[in-house]
Each structure stands twice: as structure tokens, then as C-alpha cells.
A and B are shown apart, each in its own frame.
Chain A
Amino acid sequence: EDQVTQSPEALRLQEGESSSLNCSYTVSGLRGLFWYRQDPGKGPEFLFTLYSAGEEKEKERLKATLTKKESFLHITAPKPEDSATYLCAVQAGRGATNKLIFGTGTLLAVQP
């Protein structure tokens, strides 16, 4: 069964303290790995899509990388406004499915 596991569940950083979030996956035929940001009471906001091992994407202080078994979301010099839940999701299988399978997320708190 396709599965996505995120760690840690929660992370508290000081402003400017860089760190990484992990997303490990077990799927049959990865078609894409997605990172979303979710603020309280809001829907997930799309950040990145990664398709193949070795691929990297960057946006401001965020950088996403992908290997054959996991993805990392690196946060460089975070600011309090980066505080949110970060969700990882995969799209898998060679059939017609387009559903996303999500992990449970990492709750990031950045303190000033």
C-alpha cells in the first residue's frame, strides 16, 4: 500500500536557525511528489512539484530535494511568517488515478 511518512511531527526553530523537514515514501511508481504549506483554518497552498530523483526546486527560503526514497524541505534562515504546517503528498501508480496521498504534516513554529 502506498504510504507517506513525515518527520518530525513538530519543529520549533529560532528565527534564522536553518533546518530540514523529511518526507519518506513507499509507493508503486512515483509520478510526482508535492509539497504544500497549510496555515490554520486554510486550505493547503502549493509550493513545489518534484518528479525524479536528483531534482531540486527553490522558492525564497525554501528548497525541496528528492531521492528515490525520500524528499527534504530545507528551510534557510527562517522567519516567523514561515510558521505553518508543511504537507508532503505523492501521486503514484501507472493507472488513471490522480489522487494525492498525503502525510500527516510537520508543524513548524519559528520564534523571533
Chain B
Amino acid sequence: DTGVSQDPRHKITKRGQNVTFRCDPISEHNRLYWYRQTLGQGPEFLTYFQNEAQLEKSRLLSDRFSAERPKGSFSTLEIQRTEQGDSAMYLCASSRTNQPQHFGDGTRLSIL
């Protein structure tokens, strides 16, 4: 396994701008998850895909957030009109069905 890959590792943007993050899961993992982690806290669930279908979304995922997994492989998470409160580490994880989730090293978002 090459591990879960996330790009970019760091993103600095001005408030109000749109940002997009990419996640490449471990190959053959059919499930993909997005979490958000702030300093001193554990990761909080955002959304989950099985293959290309988005099956669950958290109430944390406001209308400004959208996630896609168009071909059941990589996924993108877009945040529109960023706000100060969006500053966090965005983590992606993948798994096989009923197997543990394996995480990438995240994208750290800083809003100026």
C-alpha cells in the first residue's frame, strides 16, 4: 500500500476565496472519508463515500462545502467563500468495507 495521499499539504488563502483539496485513497479501498481537525481536538467527521456515492454528510458540512468522488477513486473537497472558522486540518481516510480507516497526512488550511 502506498498510503492515502493528500494535496496540497498546506493552503493559505484570503477570506472569501474558494479552495479545493484532493485525496487519493489507497488503491482498492472502496470507502473514502473526510474529517476536519482543529488544534487540541480529535478529528470530526464531514462526509463519506462508498465508491462514487456520497452516503453520509455531517451537519458540520454547510452549503459552502461540497465533496465529490466522480469515478470512485480520488475525491475532492471544495470550500466556497472561506471564513476564518474554516481554518483547520482537513483529513482524508480510506478503507475496505468493514475494515479500519487509514488516514492521510492532511491539508492544513489557513485563512488570512
Which positions in A face B, CB cutoff 8 Å?
4, 34, 36, 41-46, 49, 87, 89, 96-105
Interchain CA distance A104-B44 in the complex, whole Å: 10
Q: Are B56 and A96 in contact (CB under 8 A)?
A: yes
| Interface size band for B | 20 to 34
Knowing A96-B55, A98-B56, say if A46 contacts B44 (CB, 8 Å).
no
Q: Are B45 and A101 in contact (CB under 8 A)?
A: yes
Interchain CA distance A23-B110 in the complex, whole Å: 31
CB-CB contacts below 8 Å: B74-112 with A = 91, 93, 100-106
Q: Which of B40, B101, B105 has the most CB of A within 10 A?
A: B101
- Chain A positions within 8 Å of B45 at CB level: 99-101
The reply on B31 being an interface residue by CB < 8 A is yes
Interchain CA distance A7-B81 in the complex, whole Å: 37
**A38 nearest CB across to chain B (Å):** 9
Q: Are A104 and B56 in contact (CB under 8 A)?
A: no
Q: Are A100 and B101 in contact (CB under 8 A)?
A: yes
Query: In this complex, what residue of B is CB-closest to A43?
Result: B103
Q: Are A103 and B42 in contact (CB under 8 A)?
A: yes
Complex A-B: 24 CB contacts under 8 Å: A34-B100, A34-B101, A42-B106, A43-B91, A43-B93, A43-B104, A45-B103, A46-B101, A46-B103, A49-B100, A87-B43, A96-B55, A98-B48, A98-B55, A99-B33, A99-B48, A99-B56, A100-B43, A100-B101, A102-B42, A102-B44, A103-B42, A104-B40, A104-B41
Chain A contact residues, majority secondary structure: loop
- Chain A positions within 8 Å of B48 at CB level: 98-99
Q: Are A41 and B105 in contact (CB under 8 A)?
A: yes
Knowing A96-B55, A96-B56, A99-B56, say if A46 contacts B43 (CB, 8 Å).
no
